Amino acid sequence: MSAKVVVSKRRNVNRQAIFLITLWPFPEDFFLSDPELKSKVPLEYLSHKEKYEEAVRKACLLFRKVIQLQNEGKGGMDNFREVLGGQLGSAILPDGNPITLHYVMFIPTLMGQGTIEQQAEWIQKAWNCDIIGTYAQTELGHGTFIRGLETVAKYDPKTEEFVLHSPTLTAYKWWPGGLGHSANYAVVVAQLYTQGKCHGIHPFVVQLRDEETHEPLPGIKIGEIGCKLGMNSTNNGYLGFDNVRIPRNYMLMKNSQVLPDGTYVKSPSSKLTYGTMIFVRVVLVQDAATYLKKASIIATRYSAIRHQSQIKPDQPEPQILDYVTQQYKLFPNIASCFAFQYAATWLWDTYNNITEELETGQLDNLPELHATACVLKAVSTADAAQGVEMLRLACGGHGYMTASNLPSTYGLVTAMCTYEGENTVLLLQTARFLVKMWQNKTNVYKLPTMKYLATALNRATPFEKSVEWVIAALQKTAAGKIDLANRHLNERVAKGQSYEDAWNNTSIELVSAAEVHGRTIIVEQFYNTVQGYKSRVSKELGTVLEQLLQLYAVNAALRCTGDFLRFTEVLGKDITVLQTWLEELLSQIRPNAVGLVDSFDMRDEILSSALGCYDGNVYERLFNEAQKSPLNAEPVNKSYNLYLKPFIKAQL
């Protein structure tokens, strides 16, 4: 992302690695050097209210600058993408941007679901920021299961209006970013009722606040939902309706319509609205890679600076990076950064190809894409969250400090396990597709990610120390697990359980099968990517990429040795070979570890970590960060005279 190329003697890896990872240039300095975009006091010291106010200040300034760049013809949507979804935005607004959803959800929904006339009415206003919108779908009582939403939009043909209403407390919208006090409009998802019939959920544009005074409009009950594990300046809000009336043409009608007399005209294909959901999950795989990179840089650089304990008596304390247990915490996560990055790139390309097909009416590949996006989102976000936490713990006590930026990074990455489809729910969706394909294998050959299912179970996979073997063994294991889960499902049905109960009772095995399928795809794509690079990069870089691939593969294998021993021909003694292979790779990667994380090329301002800076001045930075605490501005805090002194001086 930065054009700056950083070089240092302790860095050994060919800088080509940069170019394999990030491609588009971006004027980071224009933002990061602006003193107005820095906070006088680190945000963590402010009150919740002050955090929000500071975030609004910065967000307005940030978008002014993006628009300025655009007006000057310097970059277009890419700038928005980096500021909104990239790491630059999170460096400037580390605890969330209260206007993000205006760009990420409000405008795209108007574009995707509005008619041409509606787009003409709304998009210019939204694009000029004359109105600030958000996207209100999730409710207090319902998240991933959107069919269960309770907010009602009832059509009244007499006035040609919809009446929005929250029949229960659980019908209140809950979570939308910027909804609390920032947005004055929202796209609201509600159950559409017309002519006495419910037609399921549909999107409506609703004005929430007066465009001049910002006061909530009559019937709008609105506020913020309170503090959270992270994202405390995103201004997540709640929203209740007390019979709020909106004009008929405020329903977004690109897909379905309600005519003036109340007649409902159905969408030609419900699969078309699928698109955005898949798109977001595709992006999340990339985000998982980015967060894991951030934590990997911080923990690896810190491990090169921190010296502790003794390997040998009477020798100086070694870098903790030289402890093999520490390498085991760091290096597999570095390998995962590459794995998730390549999987994200591949998924993005696949998504684009299939989206192109959709436009020509070809829908055949959509279910596989959906199943793949579900499982990759679930596996990559779960692993990235666990990885970030492992890396945080690998930094010991200092990883617990806000100044390390590891706690906030964890707060952001773990949220991804829940939003945009809870991970267990997503794994079960992939499992449903896998079982369907398994039960009717004739189609499996046509599906790139699943064709292995046709042959894997009968293929001999004698052990050898190679990535190819790991892939074959993972495929056989995934197939074996799907087969076994499917048999257990059928057995339960044969014993008289309904298919639904049998499905629920088999769900632990189904989730596990889907997970192995996901890991299989990730190792395969890593393998394919490295094969593709080999002719294009130096021999040295090729070797390092191969080591990372092997490390990812052998670690994936060692995570499921129990399954391998059940479903493949592997033997106990082979596991010992895998363990030795892993240990060899850790020692091969050791000299390049710092260079590898440098190649992720995140600027110090983006890392925002006292432990992770490029210059390695860990202790000076930790100390300087502590000096910023407002408590340290005065030698004696007022609580001494107020409470502590009376306590000390009292006769107890």
Q: Which residues are catalytic?
A: 420
> Which range touches a copy of itself (CB under 8 A), out of 17-25, 270-278, 360-368, 617-625?
617-625
Cβ-based nearer residue to a copy of itself, 19 or 145:
145
Contact between 229 and a copy of itself (CB under 8 A)? yes
**Interface with a copy of itself (CB under 8 A), residue from 78, 160, 357, 583:** 583
CB atoms under 10 Å from CB of 416, counted, come to 22
Q: What are phi and psi of 246, to 5 degrees?
A: -130, 150
Binding mask 500-519 for a copy of itself (x = CB under 8 A): xx-xxx-xxx-x--------
Cβ-based nearer residue to a copy of itself, 143 or 346:
143
> Which range touches a copy of itself (CB under 8 A), out of 62-70, 109-117, 332-340, 453-461?
62-70
Nearest Cα to 111, choosing from 269, 275, 351, 354?
Answer: 275
Spatial neighbors of 252 by CB under 8 A, at least 6 apart, are 109, 110, 113, 114, 115, 118, 187, 202, 203, 204, 205
Establish how many alpha carbons lie within 13 A of residue 392's alpha carbon, considering only the half-sphere containing its beta carbon: 21
The token pair at 533 is 């690079």
**Interface with a copy of itself (CB under 8 A), residue from 213, 360, 458, 535:** 213
Contact between 414 and a copy of itself (CB under 8 A)? yes
**Interface with a copy of itself (CB under 8 A), residue from 19, 24, 445, 619:** 619
**Interface with a copy of itself (CB under 8 A), residue from 156, 215, 261, 349:** 215
Q: Are 449 and 556 in contact (CB under 8 A)?
A: no
The 8-class DSSP code of residue 170 comes to G
Q: Are 515 and 427 in contact (CB under 8 A)?
A: yes
Q: Give CA separation, 100 vs 4, 106, 184, in Å.
A: 28, 9, 14
Contact between 569 and a copy of itself (CB under 8 A)? no
Letter string b/e over residues 474-483, b meaning 16 or more CB atoms within 10 A of that residue's CB: bbbbbbbbbb
Cβ 424 to a copy of itself shortest distance, Å: 5
Nearest Cα to 11, choosing from 269, 297, 265?
Answer: 297
Sheet of strand 173-174: strand arrangement: 173-174, 237-241, 220-224
Contact between 2 and a copy of itself (CB under 8 A)? no
Contact between 493 and a copy of itself (CB under 8 A)? no
Contact between 582 and a copy of itself (CB under 8 A)? yes
**Interface with a copy of itself (CB under 8 A), residue from 132, 239, 371, 471:** 132
Contact between 626 and a copy of itself (CB under 8 A)? yes
- Torsion sign across C-alpha atoms 598, 601, 602, 603: positive
Beta bridge partners of 162: 155, 246
Cβ 440 to a copy of itself shortest distance, Å: 22
Contact between 460 and a copy of itself (CB under 8 A)? no
Beta bridge partners of 164: 153, 244
Cβ 389 to a copy of itself shortest distance, Å: 8
177 is in an annotated binding site: yes
**Interface with a copy of itself (CB under 8 A), residue from 27, 112, 216, 542:** 216
> Which range touches a copy of itself (CB under 8 A), out of 40-48, 359-367, 459-467, 589-597?
40-48
Contact between 103 and a copy of itself (CB under 8 A)? no
The token pair at 21 is 């990872």
Contact between 208 and a copy of itself (CB under 8 A)? no
